Amino acid sequence: MIKTGGEIYRVKKIRTHYFFLKVMTGYDLSKRRIPVMEMESSTKGPQVVLTACMHGDETGGTVVVHELFRILKRSLRCGKVLAFPILNPFGFEITSRRISISNEDLNRSFPGNINGSLAQRIAAIVMDNIIKRKPDLVLDLHNDWNKSIPYTIIDNIDDSVVLLNLHRYARISKLPAIQESEKISSSLSYCLNVSGIPSLTFELGESLIINEKNVVYGINAVLNILSVLDMLSHRDDLPGFELPQEVRNSILTYSAGPVCSRSGILRFSKKPGDLVKKGDRLARVYNAFGKLTETITAKQAGIILGHNDYAVAYPGSPVMAFGVHDS
Ligand SMILES: [Zn+2]
């Protein structure tokens, strides 16, 4: 506190702390660790956890964390923000979605097992660290197909109170809100949600490289949420991703269909962000002689979230992901 001419001002202090969670010791005795960033205001308040680069080739969220910490150093009014900027250092090193040395998907290994596989052990360490802190919200930052729009995924959970809370945060983020259709019971966000800790997943455009525009959408989404939680020294109402009028303000349902049923070369007729009606042509498949073998059409009206990274089609290969109106 500072006294000036009888007036008393409380001096806000912000403490930043960087540390590691130990994962394992390498064959060469190197320490394998997960970096953690923590920023805490001297004024008590909510606690928000950010996780990024769970899939090692998805580095956009890491940059969102770095930029947010620069901003919060000046503007965190109260509470604490904890961040795991690179949750999968093994995959990050070789630009792989999976944990390189065990070839496992970390986000299909929760809640984890400290005596299980490498991915399950890492999941258990991360899960334990987050749960014991009892955060108010966890935001898991991911990236999607190379051609995709940013959006937030709401887990398909049964707890209506947590679900309502997630819908609210999704709207505040100003990212397109997509309700997951399946129960992904081994993901971090699902396991946190069923433990009563609200958790949203952000898909912030393409993997592999940093798309600065999508980094801004990610930063704005987090700051809008921190602002509503009253954690910032000023009120933020930052712009989000603008959806077409027809689907704006609605919560859409994730759909991965239809898929290819023939082999060949996949050529798209629509792009991410386009609205489609039932029956609209999405893509065509051609064989090695250039003959059309399949025309893929939309099953439901909705918006295209992203399309496949590859031109090679085979029976069952994905074409596009959609946000559709629940029917
Ligand atoms: Zn991911």
In the 3-class helix/strand/coil scheme, how is the chain assigned residue by residue? Answer: CEEECCEEECCCCEEEEEEEEEEEECCCCCEEEEEEEEEEECCCCCEEEEEECCCCCCCHHHHHHHHHHHHHHHHECCCEEEEECCCCHHHHHCCCCCECCCCECHHHCCCCCCCCCHHHHHHHHHHHHHHCCCCCEEEEEEEECCEECCEEEECCCCCHHHHHHHHHHHHHHCCCEEECCCCCCCCHHHHHHHCCCCEEEEEEEECCCCCHHHHHHHHHHHHHHHHHCCCECCCCCCCCCCCCHHHCCCCEEEECCCECCCCEEEEECCCCCCEECCCCEEEEEECCCCCEEEEEECCCCEEEEEECCCCEECCCCECEEEEECCC
Q: Are residues 15 and 60 in the same domain?
A: yes
How close is the Cα of 64 to the center of ligand 1, in Å?
A: 15
Q: Are residues 283 and 139 in the same domain?
A: no
How close is the Cα of 54 to the center of ligand 1, in Å?
A: 6
In a domain, 247, yes or no: no
Q: Are residues 146 and 260 in the same domain?
A: no
Taking residues 135-159, report their average pLDDT.
97
Instruction: Please give the pLDDT value at position 248.
Output: 82
Q: Are residues 95 and 233 in the same domain?
A: yes
In a domain, 220, yes or no: yes
Taking residues 152-166, report their average pLDDT.
95
Instruction: Please give the pLDDT value at position 11.
Output: 60
Instruction: Please give the pLDDT value at position 110.
Output: 98
Instruction: Please give the pLDDT value at position 208.
Output: 95
Taking residues 172-199, report their average pLDDT.
96
Q: Are residues 75 and 168 in the same domain?
A: yes
Q: Are residues 236 and 256 in the same domain?
A: no
pLDDT of 293 strictly over 80: yes
pLDDT of 5 strictly over 80: no
How close is the Cα of 141 to the center of ligand 1, in Å?
A: 8
How close is the Cα of 92 to the center of ligand 1, in Å?
A: 12
Q: Are residues 80 and 225 in the same domain?
A: yes
How close is the Cα of 143 to the center of ligand 1, in Å?
A: 5
**Mean pLDDT, the chain, whole residue set:** 94
How close is the Cα of 58 to the center of ligand 1, in Å?
A: 6
Q: Are residues 114 and 48 in the same domain?
A: yes
pLDDT of 220 strictly over 80: yes
> Of 242, 261, 291, which marks where a domain is finished?
242
pLDDT tens for each residue of 62-87: 999 999 999 999 999 999 999 999 99
> Of 211, 242, 273, which marks where a domain is finished?
242
In a domain, 138, yes or no: yes
Q: 55 lies in which domain range?
A: 2-242
- The answer for residues whose C-beta is within 8 angstroms of residue 283's C-beta and 6 or more apart is 266, 267, 268, 269, 270, 295, 296, 307, 319, 320
When pLDDT is cut at 50, 70 and 90, the band that residue 325 belongs to is: confident
Pick from 91-105, 168-182, 238-252: least confident:
238-252
Q: Are residues 140 and 286 in the same domain?
A: no
> Of 242, 272, 297, which marks where a domain is finished?
242
Instruction: Please give the pLDDT value at position 244.
Output: 86
Q: Are residues 281 and 190 in the same domain?
A: no
How close is the Cα of 130 to the center of ligand 1, in Å?
A: 19
How close is the Cα of 305 to the center of ligand 1, in Å?
A: 15
Q: Are residues 33 and 88 in the same domain?
A: yes
- The answer for residues whose C-beta is within 8 angstroms of residue 56's C-beta and 6 or more apart is 88, 89, 90, 91, 92, 93, 94, 95, 96, 97, 98, 99, 100
In a domain, 92, yes or no: yes
Write down the pTM of the prediction.
0.94
Instruction: Please give the pLDDT value at position 36.
Output: 98
When pLDDT is cut at 50, 70 and 90, the band that residue 227 belongs to is: very high
How close is the Cα of 57 to the center of ligand 1, in Å?
A: 8
Taking residues 311-327, report their average pLDDT.
90
How close is the Cα of 23 to the center of ligand 1, in Å?
A: 20
pLDDT of 238 strictly over 90: yes
Number of structural domains in the chain: 2
In a domain, 235, yes or no: yes
CATH number of the domain bearing residue 261: 2.40.50.100
How close is the Cα of 10 to the center of ligand 1, in Å?
A: 42
In a domain, 26, yes or no: yes
In a domain, 166, yes or no: yes
Max distance between CA atoms of the chain, in angstroms, equals 87
How close is the Cα of 34 to the center of ligand 1, in Å?
A: 17
Q: Are residues 14 and 128 in the same domain?
A: yes
| CA 17, 25, 109, 174 torsion-angle sign | positive
CATH number of the domain bearing residue 80: 3.40.630.10
Determine contact, residues 269/230, Cβ cutoff 8 Å: no
